[in-house]
Chain A
Amino acid sequence: MTIADLPIPPGAEPSAESFLGAKTTFRSWALTTDHKRIGILFFFATTLMLLLGGVFAMLIRIEHLTPGPTIMSEETYDRMFTLHGVIMVWLFMIPSIPAAFGNFIVPLQIGATEVAFPRLNLASFYVYLLGATIVIASLFYGGIDTGWTFYVPYSSHTPAAVLPTVTGIFIVGWSSIMTGVNFIATVHTMRLRGLRWMRLPLFTWAIYGTSIIQILATPVLAMALTVVGLDHAFDWGLFDPARGGDPVLFQHLFWFYSHPAVYIMVLPAMGVVSDVIPTFARKNPYSYSAIVYSTMGIAFVGFLTWGHHMFVAGMSTFDAGAFGVLSMMVAIFSAIKVFTWVATLYKGSIALKTPLLYVFAFFFLFTFGGMTGVAVATMSLDVHWHDTYFVVAHFHFIMVGGTFTGFLAALHYWMPKVTGRMYNERWSVVAWALVTGGFVVTFTPQFFLGNGGMPRRYYDDPARFQSLHVISTVGSWALALGMILVPIYMTYAFFRGPKSGPNPWGSRSFEWRTASPPPERNFEGPVDFSIDAYDYTTPQTEDA
């Protein structure tokens, strides 16, 4: 392979001294304070949750193959969609990109040898593990059937394992806050001397914006879920109208967190996109500042839009109108990003590799998902669509089409960075085609289901919806097949894949200016970030 002309010190060739090879004992992993290793631990833990949540999703889709019972009872179905939501949201999507790739990449992108609080970083992992274990354990305590939204008063009366589940989520929230605090401190205090904010790689900006949301929003969720748990366990009745409580108040508190949480999930993926495009188009971003400002804009305006989840919940029409306008503004920030990304390709030198393919899937799916977001923010239309499959399709286009394709783009893009090995490009393209095509076939019919008036969380499908459900289920099988391929060829690549060299993509982003995999202390010798992370105006020389 080739090594770019970037200043990689000669001592930084991949070697036994890499962070992977330095120590190999169990203890060296379990008690590591190396941000790279913690990132990998988070990667495996969150991927395990993805697998679990994915299995529930597949079972839900199979249940919809026929009207009436197919493979499970009504009670089981209610638990399945609840666990699918809880696991995918809190145990996979929120921690996955920030805690796994953010941990690994951010310090490299700012020229740091560590995160600001390495031990807090490790603690965050174990706290996550504890919370996740409690959530999974609640499965065996009789499960939980409230939906991931825990709407009261249903959740305070149902004879399900509400208390253990919300306790688990509460604990996972600590992990989220710990990681957020750590990244904010790291970006503020650990940047290479002279590395100004407006030269930071865009992925770091995205993680920074995400961290702000995490530390500001998560406490509100913790508070709301605590009260739900107490209502359920001790009959406190704070949200129970029978005791003078207000169930709609819970919805306000819940969405005050859970709407920004959507941006916790999607901003890191946007950061990946912002970094993958310049690398594979060998091109500076069309507008670096537009991406930075829209990231921060999303992080702040995202806090003011929660009410658009409640247009039919009985809020005042004035409030509803205000939330509608603010939701339109958030959409503009995302639209500016899409414009900027597409324009970045202009006059580039585009190599169509797997990470970029995922980014193109992201363009298409995220734009459609985002535009349907504008549609559901249009209030009279939302009255029809609210709580139907239209909304299910809309947020899966954002969460899967956006966040998850961003996650896969990151995985393929940084695989050689983390392991020094290259995956098989042919298999990865096959998997990409299956994942993207399967996704479209799975979720496009759900827009029509919603238009037709199929409510979500329905075990039994009114017969008029059956054919669309069958198409959706068959699509999910293609998606699953693609997903199964990824770990197979990635595992093969890790053990047998060809050596990638330090910078197989010829990227100028800062994290590639050291060996791949990086040494334990990230950089050997002096770190030189004098050439900009997105400066492709000078040719690179080949160094065979």
Chain B
Amino acid sequence: MSAATLPGWAIHALGLPPEASALSRQIDGLHAAVISATFAGTFAVFAVTLWFIVRFRRKRDFESTPRVVASGVREWFQGAALLALFLVFWAVGYSQYLRIETPPEHAMVVYVTAKQWMWKFSYDDGQSTNDTLYVPAGQRVRLVMTSRDVIHSFYAPSFRVKQDVIPGRWVNLWLDAAQPGSYPIECAEYCGVAHSNMLGEVRVLSPADWAKWRRGANPGEMIARGRDVAAKNGCLACHTLDGQRHVGPTWSRLFESRVALADGRSVVADEAYLTRSMMDPNADVVAGFNPVMPSYRGHLSAEEAGALVELIRSLKDGGPKPVVALPKVTSP
């Protein structure tokens, strides 16, 4: 019963989302069996009732009826037979439940932090993403989850799994995505006003894409990486992300803008200009700033420089609002 896989039309008829894992296929097999029994039972009751209504409809008022009493043995037998069926459901369901609840050993670990109203995923290589969980196809991934505020529930319908995420506790859930694709994540435990917006997605990558993503080739990830690089290398001591003037020019609205230089020229702040400025800062000094920036040649890898460019690109339409006002820096 549980081993059977459902044909596509049955999954469609039941309104189930596409199956994203081997486990979800097994669960759907049981699903179909239980729902079929539900329909069969209900319509049997309906049909027998209808038959009795017609067959034994009242013909004369106040007629008497024979006294019919159940034999105790038959009652017990019926109850026991039905209980046996239910216990089969239970046994199959329980063994599947144990598989859902027992994370496999040697699985890749992703740490999940839920908070009102977002999901944060932190990977073993130090990357982290918000609302999008990247996992490799064909590999088991264990999610180690906690909440920072109220109870949330991690629900990935295509995987047929769900786990309440409870503040103060670390709970497990695991996924084994079969095919590359994108599958929704929903918060299933009411958590306040934006509960229905606490959505995300599981992005299952092919092994090749996964390897690429792990090298930080993903643009979305590059930005986060760029932030990291900027913080670690002290860039943010002089450059702001929020548009305020500091020791160096802000990165907000910088990308692809025309920049006036100290020597009267002007350049467009494209990838090439930005990278050059990191490696050879005094080549193109921006008008109004002191030439104090050291060279980062040999300090930043190409990948890290790229991440910084991606970060600056992401600020093209302005950065975050200033949190603190910076002291005025005098220009020459």
Contacts and interface: CB of A to CB of B under 8 A. Distances in A.
Contact of A151 (B34, B59, B190): B190
A75 interface: yes
A453 B195 contact: no
Given A347-B68, A352-B53, A247 B166 contact: yes
Interface size class of A (residues with CB under 8 A): 35 or more
A378 interface: yes
Interface size class of B (residues with CB under 8 A): 35 or more
B263 interface: no
Interface centre among A246, A347, A451 (most CB of B within 10 A): A451
Contact of A346 (B52, B59, B92): B52
A468 B15 CA distance: 10
A537 B65 contact: yes
Contacts, number: 280
Given A332-B83, A387-B189, A313 B63 contact: no
Interface stretch (B41-49, B223-231, B274-282, B316-324): B41-49
Interface stretch (B127-135, B154-162, B209-217): B154-162
A154 B192 contact: yes
Given A314-B171, A458-B196, A286 B62 contact: no
Contacts of B102: 317
B3 interface: no
Contacts of A461: 196
A372 to B, nearest CB: 6
B56 A345 contact: yes
B153 A458 contact: no
Nearest to A310: B164
B42 A367 contact: yes
Contacts of B149: 153, 157
B14 interface: yes
Nearest to B172: A314
B197 A460 contact: yes
B56 A540 contact: no
A380 B64 CA distance: 50
Contact of A345 (B41, B53, B155, B166): B53
Given A378-B34, A537-B67, A338 B45 contact: yes
A340 B69 CA distance: 10
Contacts of A535: 67
Contact of B193 (A145, A283, A328, A367): A145
Given A286-B69, A455-B188, A381 B34 contact: yes
Interface stretch (A17-25, A179-187, A220-228, A318-326): A318-326
A282 B65 CA distance: 7
B273 interface: no
A336 interface: yes
Given A284-B68, A364-B46, A537-B67, 15 more contacts: A78-B192, A153-B149, A157-B149, A282-B63, A324-B93, A338-B45, A347-B68, A350-B58, A379-B93, A383-B162, A384-B162, A451-B14, A452-B157, A536-B65, A540-B64
28 contacts: A154-B192, A282-B63, A284-B68, A311-B97, A312-B164, A336-B75, A339-B75, A342-B48, A347-B56, A347-B66, A349-B59, A350-B56, A363-B45, A367-B41, A372-B38, A375-B38, A378-B34, A379-B93, A380-B30, A380-B160, A449-B15, A452-B15, A453-B17, A453-B184, A456-B190, A459-B195, A536-B65, A537-B64
Interface of B: 14-17, 27, 30-31, 34-35, 37-38, 41-42, 45-46, 48-49, 52-53, 56-70, 75, 78-79, 82-83, 86-87, 89-90, 92-102, 149-151, 153, 155, 157-158, 160-164, 166-169, 171, 184, 186-197, 199
